[in-house]
C-alpha cells in the first residue's frame, strides 16, 4: 500500500487547476453576495429584508448538488436564451450557496456593534451610508473574519461536488483513477492522496484567516 504515489498523485493533480478556479470564482461570488445580502438583512425596509431572507433561506435550505443540477440542466430550459458553461454554472452555484451562509456572518457582525456607535455617528451628523462605511463596517469586519475563514474552507471542500456535473477537478480525476484500479489497497491509496491534497490546499486558507484575525485585532481592547 502507498507504493503508487508517483503515478496516482500526478493523475489526481491534473484536476488541481479546475478545483482552484472553481474555488476562486466561487469565493468572489460568495463574498460579494454575503456583503450585499447581509446588508439587506439589516435594512429597516421590510421589503428589502424579505427579499434577502428568501434568497438566504432558499440557498441554505436546498442541496448544493441540486442547485448545481438546476443551473446546468433546468435553467437553460426555463430561459432558452441563457446558456453557461458547466464551469460557470458550478462556480456560481457554489458561490451562491456559501454566500448565503456567509451573509449571516455579515448580518450578525453588524448587529453586534453597540447601538451607541450609531448614536454617536448620528450626533456627528453622518449620513446612513457614512455611518455604515466609516463606523460600523470597520468594526464589523474584524468580527466577520473568523466566520469568513471557516466559510472559505467549507467552500473549498464544496468544490469537490462539481465532478457530478462533469468538471474534471481532483475528485473527478480520483474517481477516474479508481475505475481502473479495482483492488481495495489501490482505492484506499487513491482516496488517501485525495484527502491529503484537499488538506494541503486548505492550509494556506487556515493560516491566512489566523493572520488576518491577529492583524485586525491589533490595538483592539478585549476588556
pLDDT tens by residue, 206-218: 999 888 878 777 6
Q: What is the mean pLDDT of the chain?
A: 90
H helices present in 61-136, as ranges: 64-69, 75-78, 86-112, 115-123, 128-130
The model's confidence at residue 223, banded by pLDDT at 50, 70 and 90, is very low
In this predicted structure, what is the pLDDT of residue 157?
Answer: 94
Residue 172 pLDDT > 60: yes
Rounded Cα distance, 193 and 5, in Å: 8
User: What is the residue extent of each domain of the chain?
Assistant: 5-217
3-state helix, strand, coil in the chain (%, to 5): 85, 0, 15
Residue 80 contacts residue 157 (beta carbons within 8 Å): no
**To which residue does cell 447581509 refer?**
38
In this predicted structure, what is the pLDDT of residue 1?
Answer: 66
Rounded Cα distance, 25 and 166, in Å: 17
Of residues 157 and 128, the one with the higher pLDDT is: 157
The model's confidence at residue 63, banded by pLDDT at 50, 70 and 90, is very high
In this predicted structure, what is the pLDDT of residue 219?
Answer: 53
Residue 164 half-sphere exposure toward CB, CA atoms < 13 A: 19
Largest Cα–Cα separation, the chain = 72
Tens of pLDDT, residues 188-207: 999 999 999 999 999 999 99
Range scoring the smallest mean pLDDT among 58-62, 145-149, 156-160: 145-149
**To which residue does cell 450626533 refer?**
123
Query: 118 to each of 5, 89, 108, 127, 137, how far by Cα in Å?
Result: 58, 40, 16, 11, 11
Tens of pLDDT, residues 89-137: 999 999 999 999 999 999 999 988 888 887 888 888 888 888 888 888 8
pTM for this entry: 0.89
Helix (H, G, I), strand (E, B) or coil at 100: helix
CATH superfamily of 5-217: MetI-like (1.10.3720.10)
Identify which of 222, 137, 108, 104 has the alpha carbon closest to the alpha carbon of residue 214.
222
Amino acid at each position: 500500500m502507498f507504493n503508487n504515489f508517483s503515478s496516482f498523485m500526478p493523475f489526481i493533480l491534473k484536476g488541481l487547476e479546475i478545483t482552484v478556479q472553481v474555488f476562486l470564482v466561487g469565493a468572489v461570488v460568495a463574498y460579494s453576495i454575503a456583503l450585499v445580502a447581509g446588508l439587506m438583512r439589516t435594512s429597516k425596509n421590510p421589503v428589502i429584508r424579505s427579499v434577502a431572507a428568501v434568497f438566504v433561506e432558499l440557498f441554505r435550505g436546498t442541496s448544493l448538488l441540486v442547485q448545481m443540477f438546476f443551473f446546468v440542466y433546468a435553467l437553460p430550459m426555463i430561459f432558452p436564451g441563457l446558456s453557461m458553461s458547466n464551469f460557470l454554472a458550478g462556480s456560481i452555484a457554489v458561490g451562491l450557496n456559501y454566500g448565503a451562509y456567509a451573509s449571516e456572518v455579515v448580518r450578525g457582525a453588524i448587529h453586534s456593534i453597540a447601538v451607541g456607535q450609531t448614536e454617536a455617528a448620528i450626533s456627528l451628523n453622518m449620513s446612513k451610508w457614512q455611518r455604515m462605511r466609516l463606523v460600523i463596517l470597520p468594526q464589523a469586519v474584524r468580527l466577520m473574519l473568523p466566520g469568513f475563514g471557516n466559510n472559505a474552507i467549507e467552500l473549498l471542500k464544496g468544490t469537490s461536488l462539481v465532478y457530478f456535473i462533469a468538471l474534471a477537478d481532483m475528485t473527478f480525476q480520483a474517481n477516474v483513477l479508481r475505475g481502473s484500479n479495482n483492488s481495495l489497497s489501490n482505492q484506499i491509496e487513491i482516496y488517501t492522496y485525495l484527502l491529503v491534497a484537499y488538506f494541503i490546499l486548505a492550509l494556506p486558507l487556515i493560516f491566512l484567516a489566523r493572520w488576518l484575525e491577529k492583524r485586525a485585532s491589533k490595538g483592539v481592547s478585549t476588556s
